[in-house]
C-alpha cells in the first residue's frame, strides 16, 4: 500500500508499527491508525463466540459474514454492497485454525498499547469511522490526546473499515501525513 499511495518506504500501522516507531523512530516516518483499538483485547461475549465458532465449525466464511455485519456503514451496505461481498469473499478457503488464532490474538489477547502512546515521537494519524460502534470516534479521540504528535480525523459514511469504505479519503490523509520525498 505505501507505494500505491506514493509515500515513503518506512511507515507503519498500529501494533507492530507502534513498537517499531518506539524502537527505531528514525526509520519510521509516521504511524497511521485506522479504527484502532489502543486498549487491551475485548472480553465481550459476541467476539469471543464468533472466534470460538470459527475454529469449531471450520467455517471461515462464517467469520467473514459475522465480521462484515457490524463493520460497514449504512451507506456502504445500501450503496456499495460489492465492497462487503469482496470483503466476505476473502475468508473462504483460509485455514480455520490459523484465522481463529489470528483473530484471538488481535481481538481478545491483545495487550494494551495505552502506556506506549505518550512515548511516541513520530507523527501519528488516528482515523475513526463516524459509524464505528466497536471503537466510537469520541472514545478514540479521547485516547488520541495521549499521543504527543497525533492528528485525529472522523470520516463520515464509514464504520470500522474506513480504508475499504472511503479509500480516496484514506489515501489523502496518509499522503498529508507523510508527503512524498
Tens-digit pLDDT profile for residues 50-93:
777 777 777 777 778 888 888 999 999 999 999 999 988 887 77
Give yes or no: residues 68 and 23 share one domain: no
Residue range 104-153, pLDDT digits in tens: 887 788 888 899 899 999 899 999 999 998 889 999 999 999 999 999 99
12, exposed or middle or buried, with CB in 10 Å at 0-12, 13-18, 19+? buried
Residue 24 CB contacts under 8 Å (≥ 6 apart), including other chains: none
- For the sheet containing 124-129, what is the strand order? 31-34, 124-129, 150-155
Query: 173 and 116 in one domain?
Result: yes
Q: Supply the CATH number for residue 31's domain.
A: 3.40.50.1820
Angle in degrees, CA 177, 180, 181, rounded to 5: 120
Read off the pTM: 0.82
Higher pLDDT, 84 or 16: 84
Domain shared by 52 and 11, yes or no: no
Residue appearing with cell numbers 501519528: 124
Residues 60 and 90 grouped into a single domain? yes
108, 129, 163: which is the final residue of a domain? Answer: 108
How many independent structural domains does the chain possess?
Answer: 2
Residue-number span of the structural domain to which 126 is assigned: 2-39+112-177
Q: How far is residue 104 CA from its own chain's centroid? A: 15
**What confidence score (pLDDT) does residue 17 get?**
76
Residues 32 and 49 in one domain: no
Residue 10: the pLDDT is 43
Task: Output phi, psi for 53, to 5 deg.
Answer: -65, -30
Which of 79, 108, 137 is where one domain is finished? 108
Q: How do the residues of the chain divide into helix, strand and coil, expressed in percent and rounded to 5?
A: 50, 10, 40
Task: Give the end of a domain, one of 70, 92, 108.
Answer: 108
Amino acid at each position: 500500500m505505501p507505494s500505491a499511495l506514493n509515500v515513503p518506504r518506512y511507515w507503519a500501522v498500529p501494533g507492530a508499527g507502534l513498537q517499531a516507531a518506539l524502537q527505531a523512530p528514525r526509520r519510521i516516518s509516521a504511524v497511521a491508525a485506522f479504527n484502532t483499538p489502543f486498549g487491551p483485547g475485548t472480553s465481550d461475549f459476541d467476539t469471543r463466540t464468533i472466534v470460538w465458532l470459527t475454529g469449531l465449525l471450520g467455517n471461515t466464511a462464517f467469520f467473514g459474514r459475522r465480521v462484515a455485519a457490524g463493520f460497514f456503514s449504512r451507506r456502504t451496505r445500501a450503496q456499495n454492497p460489492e465492497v462487503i461481498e469482496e470483503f466476505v469473499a476473502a475468508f473462504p478457503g483460509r485455514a480455520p485454525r490459523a484465522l481463529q488464532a489470528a483473530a484471538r490474538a488481535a481481538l481478545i489477547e491483545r495487550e494494551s498499547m495505552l502506556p506506549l502512546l505518550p512515548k511516541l515521537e513520530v507523527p501519528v494519524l488516528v482515523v475513526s469511522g463516524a459509524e464505528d460502534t466497536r471503537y466510537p470516534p469520541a472514545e478514540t479521540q479521547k485516547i488520541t490526546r495521549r499521543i504527543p504528535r497525533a492528528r485525529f480525523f472522523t470520516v463520515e459514511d464509514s464504520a470500522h473499515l474506513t480504508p475499504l469504505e472511503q479509500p480516496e479519503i484514506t489515501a489523502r490523509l496518509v499522503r498529508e501525513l507523510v508527503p512524498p520525498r
